[in-house]
A and B are shown apart, each in its own frame.
Chain A
Amino acid sequence: MFNQIFGKYLVDSGRLTEEQLQDVIESEAEVRVKLGLIAVAEKLLTKEQADEINQLQTIMDKRFGDIAVMKGYLNEETVASLLKKQANVYMLFCQTLIDKEIMTLEEVDQALADYQTMEGFTHSDMDDLVSGDVDRTVRIFLPQDSALDAQLCGIMIRTVLRIINENAYVTKAFMVNELTVDNFAMQKLLGDHTIYVGFAGASDSLLNVAEPFANEEFERVDMDALDAVGEFINCVNGLFASDLSVKNINVDMAPPEYFDSPVKLSGEQICVFPVVIGDEPINFILSVDSSIQVTPIGE
């Protein structure tokens, strides 16, 4: 996700063209080595074991290495040594820019410093960003230090990257009391916490979630497309509820609700976390221990 976030800044600030960014990202994909691949190449896992772990990742919000340890295929020490063999995302991005003679290392460093100033990030925030770790990245984009918000947003973006679009990225989240949206899919979690979770779109932007999830084309964001978005939210919330249950926090999911025409969302603490999928921003909406009222526009 670092590439998309920092790459977008480089494009917006005129240092890189969209085409160059795409070229850099595509080139990186060729050299990025997955943990499973390294483990199989080093004969630490069989291909069948690696496939099994990849499969489990579709239903468990865990990293490849964590599942390998859980299954008893690898120990933590081996996973740590494999992780070291994967290139750091920032270095990989820099290396590709330099190899393609698009920017020098000094220019990249200066751009990163300018980006830090623009966003008001601390050095620690920047360490989190260049780490490439999704959870650390999500935390620096959230407006408040809430463990539940961070946990849910982390699961959401990891699931988006895994199932919806591997080039998705986030921008800075913000808090509102009111928000008007063109369409909205939402699910409530009830139990030890009351949590509202949804995706809100402008025009047809939610198709970027609905179509890849349902593996189907929709003409517009109608109730069927929103149903697909709702099912995706259901999967995210299921993973979230599963993680919470480990800490003896229990929440259960209510059936999703859909709104296919403009609505106003109102509440005391609505967190809006923009996720860019396929160049279009979609708002991930959440409210923890506070309610969201949904009112059709015109009422």
Chain B
Amino acid sequence: MAKVLIVDDSRTSRKMLRNVLENNGHVIVDEAMNGQEGVQKFQACKPDLVTLDITMPIVDGVEALKMIRAFSSDVKIVMVTAAGQKSKMIECIKLGADEFITKPYEPGEVARVVESLLS
């Protein structure tokens, strides 16, 4: 079981991800609607794992990844992407992203990615 922070501007996406993660025994410690809020909540709740949507207003997922990595090299970070964001994925790998999941979510894939990071 891991403490997870979900950062995504879409309520629909947050809800889908919360359902999948909770069904796999994880605890959602908080949710954030953009990268800026995500970094603040990361510092406040110290999760084991953060899911970061790449496309968000105010501060996007790539910037938020950079900021969170400045605070912690240990936290597991899963980037959430739509198909067709390959160049951003490469940038995220360079910045220290651990894994990627693609929308629309496939529950088995989400569970597999999270379990592999936590094992």
Which residues from B are CB-within-8-Å of A234? Answer: 10, 55, 82, 103
A-B Cβ contacts below 8 A, count: 78
Q: Who on chain B is nearest to A228 by CB?
A: B12
Contact A241 B16 (CB under 8 A): no
Which residues from B are CB-within-8-Å of A227? Answer: 10-12
Which residues from A are CB-within-8-Å of B82? Answer: 234-235, 237-238, 241, 253
Given known contacts A213-B12, A224-B11, A255-B55, is B103 in contact with A231 (CB within 8 Å)? yes
Counting CB contacts under 8 A, is B43 at the interface? no
Chain A interface, >50% SS class: helix
Contact A59 B106 (CB under 8 A): yes
Could you give, for residues 241-275 of chain A, a 1 whenever the CB lies within 8 Å of some chain B CB and a 0 otherwise?
11111000011111110000000000000000000
CB distance from A151 to the nearest CB of B (A): 13
Counting CB contacts under 8 A, is A198 at the interface? no
Contact A241 B85 (CB under 8 A): yes
User: Could you tell me the distance between the alpha carbons of A230 and B103 in the complex, rounded to whole angstroms?
Assistant: 12
Partner of B84, one of A163, A213, A239: A239
Which residues from B are CB-within-8-Å of A243? Answer: 84
Counting CB contacts under 8 A, is B86 at the interface? yes
Given known contacts A231-B13, A234-B55, A255-B9, is B104 in contact with A60 (CB within 8 Å)? no
Chain B residues 20 to 72 lying within 8 A of chain A, measured CB to CB, are: 55-57
Contact B87 A250 (CB under 8 A): yes
Counting CB contacts under 8 A, is A240 at the interface? yes
Given known contacts A55-B106, A235-B104, A255-B57, is B12 in contact with A245 (CB within 8 Å)? no
Q: Who on chain B is nearest to A224 by CB?
A: B11
Given known contacts A235-B103, A235-B104, is B56 in contact with A255 (CB within 8 Å)? yes
Partner of B85, one of A163, A216, A238: A238
Which residues from A are CB-within-8-Å of B108? Answer: 55
| Interface residue total, chain A, C-beta cutoff 8 A | 32
Partner of B106, one of A58, A61, A240: A58
Contact B84 A244 (CB under 8 A): yes
**A-B contacts, 22 listed (Cβ < 8 Å):** A59-B102, A61-B83, A214-B12, A216-B12, A216-B15, A227-B10, A228-B12, A230-B12, A231-B10, A231-B103, A234-B10, A235-B82, A235-B104, A238-B83, A240-B84, A242-B84, A242-B86, A243-B84, A245-B86, A252-B88, A253-B82, A256-B10
Q: Could you tell me which B residues sit within 8 Å of A by CB distance?
A: 9-13, 15-16, 55-57, 81-88, 102-104, 106, 108
